[in-house]
Copies of this chain bind each other. A is one copy, B any other.
Amino acid sequence: MDDLSRLCIHTATTKPWSIEIAVEQFARAGVPGITVWRDAIANRDPKRVGAMIRDAGLSTVSLCRGGFFPALDVDGRKRAIADNLRAIDEAEAIGAPLIVLVCGADPGQPLERSRDQIVEGIRTVAARAREAGVRLAIEPLHPMYADAKSAVNTMQSANDLCDRINEPNVGVAVDVYHIWWDPNAMAEISRCAAAGRLYAFHVCDWRTPTRDFLLDRGLMGDGCIDIPGFRRAVEQGGFDGFIEVEVFSTQYWSMDQSVYLERIIDAYKTHV
């Protein structure tokens, strides 16, 4: 597959590059989509960043990330709401149609309570997001992050939360890294798609061994995930959006990022 028309790369994937360099390099390489991490636009005017992305001929696929709703104390939950409202403002300004939510968890309380707080938090900000033309995608995170990063750890759980929230602009971001191991994943992808809630599709790979909980993701083809199988599943559900390469890797970040970008494109062509 030499068609790059659906390829999107996250700014966090080529983290050593500033967003200005990333946009220039992606455009030169024919990569049409970019997902913008909020740290990449710190101290910048998001409207100007959005214009720069559009001027380069790229599409902003999503803003990463909102979420982190749960907290033991009510002030913590209020701060989370305020931060998510800021994220919606930024998405609107930059022109991102979607915010990915890493929902959060507080190890000091039961997971059920964290899930309730996630439902409440998303409900609180959903209307403002809708007004801004922004959709919100719950990203189920791998169960190894259930203690402090996300109490939503399977497609089933993400779908269940969407049912509870029941807002027209709240759906799911499917990331193969988090769900590849789950025997229920394919059925829950179908359920998600049938509900019109499959908003995003992220790819990378699971290395054996994985040497770090956060920063040792593989490029597609480096590991054991059946990425084409998941691509078929989301496309059978009708998903035809961007395929987003999201790789956090100290190893790849230490490479020359121009050489790395070529490897990303090759991996996309060969293993997605």
Binding site for B on A (CB under 8 A): 107-108, 110-111, 115, 142-144, 146-148, 153-154, 156-157, 160, 180-184, 206, 208-210, 213, 223-224, 226
Contacts and interface: CB of A to CB of B under 8 A. Distances in A.
Contacts of A153: 181-182
Nearest to A214: B209
Contacts of A148: 208-209
A173 to B, nearest CB: 18
Nearest to A151: B181
A60 B4 CA distance: 60
A143 B181 contact: yes
Nearest to A109: B224
A213 B209 contact: yes
A151 to B, nearest CB: 8
A111 B181 contact: yes
A108 B206 CA distance: 12
B144 A144 contact: yes
Nearest to A226: B110
A107 B180 CA distance: 12
